[in-house]
Amino acid sequence: MSQIIEVKVPDIGQDSAVDVIEVLVKAGDTVAIDDPLITLESDKASMDVPSPYAGVVQSIAVKVGDQVKESSVILSLSTEDAVAVPEIPAKTEETKKTTSTALKPAASAPTATSAQEKETTADELHASPAVRRLARELDLNLRQINATGPKGRITKEDVKNYVHARMQGGGGGGAGLAIAPLPAINFSQFGEISTEPLSKIKKLSGANLHRNWVSIPHVTQFDEADITSLEAFRQERKSEVEKQGLKLTPLVFIMKAVAATLKKMPIFNSSLSADGTSLVLKHYIHLGVAVDTPNGLVVPVVRDVDKKSVLDLAAELADISERARNKALKTPEMQGSSFSISSLGGIGGTAFTPIINAPDVAILGVSKASQKPVYHEGTFVPRLMLPLSLSYDHRVIDGADGARFCKQLVEYLEDIRYLVLV
Ligand code: CAO
């Protein structure tokens, strides 16, 4: 008959509370006797607490950051035959500071484990015995794994992320390139540190950005557009548009001008086929617009930009950026872009090199417009100049076309009346 049993912290060889630094199981997991449940850490050592029973985890009573002592409840387990095994001591990983009296040694840890742990400890890597075991089973070198746990500790999640990145062709080795992996460094040796996990968005976009950066030969073309008259028009219309609850920023005009330029130069609105032998030209203009959110960068897509008015675009931009920041975008809303724009113009900067949002073949970076002296008919006149940075895939687009695209875009921005002719 099954029964519910509370699993408690065993004798850890000290009276003071220690930190829970990793919870290795979740409700619903099936565990065998001796499977590690949580990892504890004192000032001097870390240790896994193994399961004294086989069963299914019902609920977890601790979380990372909690402090526990001997007899604190860790979790409840439903077991079929709750034959109590003699208390299994926590398995210790000695750290640099460990003294012989610190914590109870790992009675059941095999000698090979201890030898391996000593070797990596000497290299200042921090990982629980369970994580070390997992890395050994997968034949991974802990030194290549990025540590995100407290005090520079490599967690089980770090090992999983590393394997995931390797399977996608990224990770420590650099997408099949002969690049030396970054060493794992224990930064606490240089001063106080704290560690925060990356947000889910950052982990996802990071992997994509890395892939795009190393796999696409980027060239960035810089240019600037005189938007003095565009800005005068925008200021003129701004308050009236605001009465309709809309915000008229330079970006919506830039989107229209980009759409018109893409119509003239459709190669910028294409994707390279998967085998790299042909171009897929898109007969729609869907623009990905990078939005800065507290959780990281997201790129929602504004569809059919060429068919929408500036006011439609202002409304849609406000809606998607608001929903992006509230994590309310649906996955299809972030798919299908044919070209992207990353605007840092509301923040500042004079130029930057945006990373292409594959499978697009180009992305436009927009920086902050500023007043500059421009030489005109024998004299310097103040003009509002908008810096543009176009990154393109050099496998698809030649340098001359990169320069032509910018020239055309500048022409549209300098006299937006042309946009009505497109
Ligand atoms: N030059 C000068 N001023 C500019 C400008 C530019 N290029 N672009 C915007 N501004 C002004 C706007 O007019 C507005 O001022 P007013 O209220 O006085 O008109 C102010 O800057 C703020 O604009 P905004 O940023 O709120 O609006 P936007 O339409 O320009 O941009 C959005 C919307 C969602 C793109 C933006 O908020 C954003 O998230 N940008 C960051 C994108 C990003 O992170 N890119 C990097 C990706 S790579 O890591």
Instruction: Give yes or no for a contact between 247 and 241, defined as CB atoms under 8 angstroms apart.
Output: yes
Q: What confidence score (pLDDT) does residue 176 get? A: 58
Amino acid at the residue 176: G
Q: What confidence score (pLDDT) does residue 154 get? A: 85
The answer, yes or no, to whether any atom of ligand 1 lies below 6 A from the CB of 292, is yes
The answer, yes or no, to whether any atom of ligand 1 lies below 6 A from the CB of 289, is yes
Q: How does residue 107 score in pLDDT terms, banded at 50, 70 and 90?
A: very low
Distance 346 CA to ligand 1 centre (A): 3
- The CATH classification number of 3-92 equals 2.40.50.100
Q: What confidence score (pLDDT) does residue 123 get? A: 47
Which tokens hold the place of 40?
């504890």
Q: Is residue 164 among the annotated active site residues?
A: no
pLDDT tens, residue by residue, 33-47 = 988 899 888 776 778
User: Average model confidence (pLDDT) for the chain?
Assistant: 86
Atom of ligand 1 nearest to the CA of 368: 1
Between these two residues, 132 and 55, which has the higher pLDDT value?
Answer: 55
Distances (CA, A) of 68 to 3, 65, 177, 410: 25, 10, 45, 64
- Give the neighbor-by-neighbor strand order of the sheet with 73-79: 3-8, 73-79, 55-60, 30-31
- CA–CA separation, 212 vs 218, rounded Å? 9
Same fold across 3-92 and 217-421: no
Q: What confidence score (pLDDT) does residue 149 get? A: 76
Q: What confidence score (pLDDT) does residue 81 get? A: 61
Model confidence at 116: pLDDT above 60: no
Helix 399-414 × helix 228-243 angle, to 10°: 60
Which tokens hold the place of 124?
């200042």
Q: Which of 132-136, 138-142, 156-160, 388-392 has the highest mean pLDDT?
A: 388-392
* Cβ neighbours, 10 Å, residue 11: 12
Cα–Cα nearest to 74, from 150, 13, 23, 18: 23
pLDDT tens, residue by residue, 224-252 = 999 999 999 999 999 999 999 999 999 99
Cα angle at 362 between 359 and 366, to 5 degrees?
130
What 167-173 contacts at long range (C-beta under 8 Å, 24+ apart), as own/partner pairs, is 168/207, 168/211, 169/211, 170/207, 170/210, 170/211, 170/214, 171/144, 172/144, 172/145, 172/146, 173/144
- Residue 299 β-bridge partners: none
Q: What confidence score (pLDDT) does residue 333 get? A: 96
- CA–CA separation, 115 vs 121, rounded Å? 10
Lowest mean pLDDT among 134-138, 203-207, 277-281, 345-349: 134-138
Model confidence at 303: pLDDT above 70: yes
How many helices (H) and strands (E) are present in the chain, helices listed first? 8, 22
Model confidence at 175: pLDDT above 60: no
Instruction: Give yes or no for a contact between 109 and 49, defined as CB atoms under 8 angstroms apart.
Output: no
Domain 100-167 has CATH 4.10.320.10: yes
Model confidence at 112: pLDDT above 60: no
Dihedral pair phi/psi, residue 207, rounded to 5°: -65, -40
360-371 mean pLDDT: 98
Cα–Cα nearest to 255, from 334, 321, 308, 325: 308
Residue of 199, 249, 323 to test ligand 1 pocket, by largest number of atoms within 8 Å of CB:
249
pLDDT tens, residue by residue, 189-205 = 999 999 999 998 898 89
Atom of ligand 1 nearest to the CA of 289: 35
Residue that the structure tokens 């095994």 belong to = 85
Whole-model pTM: value is 0.66
**% of the chain exceeding 70 in pLDDT:** 86
Domain ranges of the chain: 3-92, 100-167, 217-421
**% of the chain exceeding 90 in pLDDT:** 63
Q: Please give the helix or strand (H or E) that residue 238 lies within, else none.
A: helix 228-243
The CATH number corresponding to 217-421 among 3.30.420.40, 3.30.559.10, 3.30.450.30, 3.10.180.10 equals 3.30.559.10
pLDDT tens, residue by residue, 269-299 = 999 998 889 999 999 999 999 999 998 999 9
Distance 250 CA to ligand 1 centre (A): 8
Between these two residues, 148 and 119, which has the higher pLDDT value?
Answer: 148
Q: What confidence score (pLDDT) does residue 99 get? A: 32
Which tokens hold the place of 116?
């391996």
Model confidence at 171: pLDDT above 50: no
Q: How does residue 84 score in pLDDT terms, banded at 50, 70 and 90?
A: low
Residue of 333, 343, 384, 391 to test ligand 1 pocket, by largest number of atoms within 8 Å of CB:
343
Model confidence at 91: pLDDT above 60: no
Atom of ligand 1 nearest to the CA of 320: 34
Cα angle at 267 between 265 and 272, to 5 degrees?
170
Distance 8 CA to ligand 1 centre (A): 54
